[in-house]
């Protein structure tokens, strides 16, 4: 199974820890832009890459850049074709084998990915980044011994390699040693103060511990990558779960300013307004905004119904609970909601 190291290994466990009694469960991936904007942007990006290939058909970089794009979009056959074209131009270019390794890794062919990295190491034996990528691959295979062996080789060649420490943090975390993971992530940040993933992972760990250090790490991560709303979302959850609803609402407003169609920020705004502030009308409005973005968001629909119920609007509450059941048959919360309305009537 493919693992996204540069993504968030802890984010799912973090959100699972923060599940609350009124269905405050959410997806871990945020919708940062509308689908139309995304598609237009991707189309423009591919057009630029196509033009570069047409303009420089003998450029290894032009083919590899497009291969990376295809790989990110999980178009593995197209990516492999471009890598093979780059390989036919220069079979001794280490970058070709690094990209080839990524394509094989993302498509689930770990052994072929490892073979590509071994070839890259033959071509560039002094390159610490090759060892780091090898460590990353071994980590996907849960081969921790080889992971750390590769990281040791990388750090011998480049003691200041922040990514090596970051991978070490991920490995230690997977092995259950949070203290060593923290030490590794902090070493990564010490060598690269703008290491987004290390900052974010530290923020997540300290959030789980209800430690105020989470605030600085998450704020720093957000400053490094202002367009990525995940650190702010985690920060909002931190405030929410540590009984500071006003700061949580403030952070969710920040997210919405950056990304107006972030359904999770609207949803959590509604949740905080309903549960902590008891402002049921405003909560219903926030849940409605989340539903405008995702009409199939049943948690938002249920909670809007619950907000209506709490403000005494039985008709609207019943309508939302019944709609949840049409979308999600035998949903326990919706059934309980309807039973409450029946018993109250």
User: What are the extents of the domains in the chain?
Assistant: 193-260, 271-345
Predicted local confidence at residue 43, as pLDDT = 78
Predicted local confidence at residue 189, as pLDDT = 98
Q: What's the CA gap between 303 and 289, in Å, rounded?
A: 12
Q: Evaluate if pTM is beyond 0.85.
A: no
Please give the distance of CA 179 from its chain centroid, rounded to a whole number.
Answer: 23
For residue 322 the two structure tokens come to 């019944």
Predicted local confidence at residue 36, as pLDDT = 43
Superfamily of domain covering 271-345:
Tetratricopeptide repeat domain (1.25.40.10)
Predicted local confidence at residue 42, as pLDDT = 61
Low pLDDT (below 50) residues in the chain: 1-38
Predicted local confidence at residue 2, as pLDDT = 32
User: What is 193-260's CATH number?
Assistant: 1.25.40.10
Give 200-256 pLDDT, tens digit per residue: 999 999 999 999 999 999 999 999 999 999 999 999 999 999 999 999 999 999 999
**Environment class of residue 310 by beta-carbon count within 10 Å: exposed (0-12), middle (13-18) or buried (19+)?**
middle
Is residue 107 within 8 Å of residue 81, measured between CB atoms?
no
Identify which of 95, 211, 292, 209 has the alpha carbon closest to the alpha carbon of residue 284. Answer: 292
Instruction: Give the DSSP H or E segment for 279.
Output: none
Q: Do the domains 271-345 and 193-260 match in fold?
A: yes
Predicted local confidence at residue 21, as pLDDT = 33
Is residue 128 within 8 Å of residue 152, measured between CB atoms?
no
Q: What's the CA gap between 262 and 249, in Å, rounded?
A: 14
Beta-carbon neighbour count of residue 73 at 10 Å?
A: 13
Q: What's the CA gap between 94 and 89, in Å, rounded?
A: 12
Torsion of CA 308, 312, 315, 318, to 10 degrees: 60
Identify which of 246, 345, 293, 320 has the alpha carbon closest to the alpha carbon of residue 31. Answer: 293
Predicted local confidence at residue 41, as pLDDT = 55
């Amino acid at each position: 199974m493919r693992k996204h190291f540069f993504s968030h290994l802890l984010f799912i466990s973090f959100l699972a820890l923060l599940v609350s009694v009124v269905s405050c469960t959410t997806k871990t991936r945020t919708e940062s832009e509308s689908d139309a904007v995304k598609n237009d942007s991707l189309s423009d990006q591919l057009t630029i890459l196509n033009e570069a290939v047409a303009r420089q058909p003998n450029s290894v970089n032009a083919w590899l850049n497009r291969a990376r794009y295809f790989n990110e979009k999980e178009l593995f056959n197209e990516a492999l074709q471009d890598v093979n074209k780059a390989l036919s131009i220069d079979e001794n270019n280490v970058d070709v084998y690094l990209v080839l390794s990524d394509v094989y890794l993302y498509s689930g062919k770990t052994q072929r990915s490892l073979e590509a990295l071994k070839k890259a190491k033959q071509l560039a034996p002094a390159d610490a980044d090759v060892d780091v990528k090898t460590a990353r691959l071994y980590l996907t295979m849960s081969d921790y011994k080889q992971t750390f062996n590769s990281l040791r080789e990388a750090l011998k060649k480049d003691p200041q390699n922040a990514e090596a420490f970051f991978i070490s943090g991920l490995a230690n975390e997977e092995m259950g040693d949070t203290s060593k993971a923290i030490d590794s992530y902090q070493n990564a940040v010490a060598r690269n103060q703008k290491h987004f993933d290390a900052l974010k992972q530290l923020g997540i760990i300290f959030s789980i511990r209800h430690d105020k250090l989470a605030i600085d790490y998450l704020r720093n991560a957000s400053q490094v990558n202002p367009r990525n709303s995940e650190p702010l979302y985690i920060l909002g959850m931190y405030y929410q779960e540590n009984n500071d609803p006003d700061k949580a609402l403030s952070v969710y407003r920040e997210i919405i300013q950056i990304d107006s169609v972030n359904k999770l920020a609207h949803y959590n705004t509604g949740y905080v307004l309903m549960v902590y502030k008891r402002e049921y009308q405003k909560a219903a409005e926030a849940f409605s905004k989340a539903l405008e973005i995702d009409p199939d968001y049943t948690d938002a629909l249920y909670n809007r119904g619950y907000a209506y119920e709490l403000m005494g609007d039985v008709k609207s509450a019943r309508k939302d609970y019944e709609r949840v059941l049409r979308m999600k048959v035998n949903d326990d919360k919706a059934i309980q909601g309807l039973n409450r309305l029946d018993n109250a009537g």
